[in-house]
Amino acid sequence: MEIGRPAPGEEMNLGQVTVPRVAATVMLLRGRHHTLEVLLVRRNPSARFMGGAWVFPGGAVDRAEGEGQAALRAAAVRELREEAGIELPDEHELVLFSRWITPAQVKIRFDTWFYLAAAPAGAEPEPDGAEVVDARWLAPQVALDASQAGELFLVFPTIKHLEQLASFASAVALLDHARGRDVRPVEPRVVSSGEMARIVLPGEPGYED
CATH number at residue 76: 3.90.79.10
Q: Answer whether 0.85 is exceeded by the pTM.
A: yes
pLDDT in tens, 64-96: 898 999 999 999 999 999 999 999 988 789 999
pLDDT at 197 over 90: no
Phi and psi at residue 66, in whole multiples of 5°?
85, -145
Vertex 38 angle, CA 70 and 92, to 5°? 35
Q: Higher confidence at residue 16 or residue 8?
A: 16
Long-range contacts of 179-183 (CB under 8 A, 24+ apart): 179/95, 181/96, 181/97, 183/96, 183/97, 183/98, 183/99
pLDDT of residue 116: 98
Report DSSP letters for 22-34, one per residue: EEEEEEEEE-TTT
| 30 occurs within a structural domain | yes
Average pLDDT over residues 112-126: 95
Average pLDDT over residues 101-116: 93
Q: Select from 24, 32, 87 the least CA-distant residue to 56.
A: 24
Q: Domain range for residue 97?
A: 2-200
| 207 occurs within a structural domain | no
| 12 occurs within a structural domain | yes
Vertex 201 angle, CA 16 and 51, to 5°? 65
| 208 occurs within a structural domain | no
Average pLDDT over residues 44-72: 93
| 206 occurs within a structural domain | no
| 146 occurs within a structural domain | yes
Percent over 70 (pLDDT), the chain: 91
Q: How far is CA 163 from CA 47, 124, 144, in A?
A: 26, 24, 8
Binning pLDDT at 50, 70 and 90, where does residue 10 land? low
| 151 occurs within a structural domain | yes
> How many structural domains compose the chain?
1
Average pLDDT over residues 32-49: 94
| 24 occurs within a structural domain | yes
